[in-house]
Structure 1
């Protein structure tokens, strides 16, 4: 596990209970770079969907917590948004919920000489993800996964999805509808937080 992932895991531990107080699910956090500036992406979800007001509210919830914990050493932008169509997958429950979807998975280290997997998600057994890649079933431990996302497509997924059974395939299609709903109402609230004493802050929201 690299240093970035360790920091992301720490941020998840700090922010998850804060976000859950108001009934939101903390889907994932990711540290990225945009034109040389660090961006902390916080992905949230709610059973009724996510609006711009939700992302703004969560921004206000996590901002003071980040001030106190101060986990990121450099200046950074905080971006809170819904997961969108390319929803991140992180927990066993995520991988079970979206069985039947087409996904992309990247591992920290090669598994049988490959790190990138693109196929149909078959489900999750305990801490192991089952994935159909071109007709072959792969089993990938969650602990070995660096990144995993739904790969949204307007075409029906190929592979063994039809062999999994009507229940799981139907569940996957329902999950896709939920993801589409989240994307349609996707909002992004951003606050710029220079690291250091007496930081200046600006906040704005945009609909996407």
Structure 2
């Protein structure tokens, strides 16, 4: 986590707590010619545009006070979406029993993607069951874990 991402987490924490939101993630990265500071929030029942505006206005004011970012950037506050990556223990607990896709950096048994029901994050291993077969993946070998959305 970069210094800016950590500072942003600390700055936004009071507003997140006050509004009973969950801070899902913060990312600061360059895309094309622009830098983006993205804050992903969630709450029971989902996030509205008004919720995003509350956090955006609060955080924008705090960032202006501290002025920690030298270059220009675009601040975005949004919901993580229904196919959000699972990153924290809380995420893995919340999606336990759901169908997930596990993407690996390197293939195991000639496969880089696995799909199955999430058992959980146990001792730094993501555990799924696929057709009754238990599979465990070391968290350091995983590039992404996300829910599978089927329509």
Alignment of 1:1-208 (within 5 A): 5-7=1-3, 10=6, 11-105=8-102, 110=106, 116-120=112-116, 121-125=118-122, 127-132=124-129, 135=133, 137-141=135-139, 147-154=144-151
Counterparts of 1:138 and 1:47, CA distance in 2: 30
RMSD: 3.3
How has the CA–CA distance of structure 1 residues 139 and 145 changed in structure 2, closer, same or farther, with 3 Å as cutoff?
Answer: closer
Check conservation: 1:123, 1:130, Cα contact below 8 A: yes
Could you tell me which runs of 5 or more consecutive residues in structure 1 were left unpaired when the two chains were aligned. 155-208
User: 1:27·1:88 contact (CA, 8 Å) conserved in 2?
Assistant: no
Looking at secondary structure, tell me which structure has more helix per residue. 1
Segment drifting more, 39-48 vs 25-34: 25-34
Q: What 5-or-longer segments of structure 2 have no aligned partner?
A: none
Distance in 2, Cα, partners of 1:43 & 1:102: 22
Task: Tell me the distance in 1 between the aligned counterparts of 2:125 and 2:93.
Answer: 11
CA contact (8 A) 2:120 2:127 kept: yes
Question: What is the aligned residue count?
Answer: 148
Cα distance 1:35–1:105, how it changes in 2: closer, same or farther (>3 A)?
same
For the 8 Å contact 2:9–2:26, the answer to whether it is kept is: yes
Q: TM-score, normalised by structure 1?
A: 0.56
Higher RCO, 1 vs 2 (CA within 8 Å, ≥6 residues apart)? 1
Partners of 2:2 and 2:128 in 1: how far apart?
A: 25
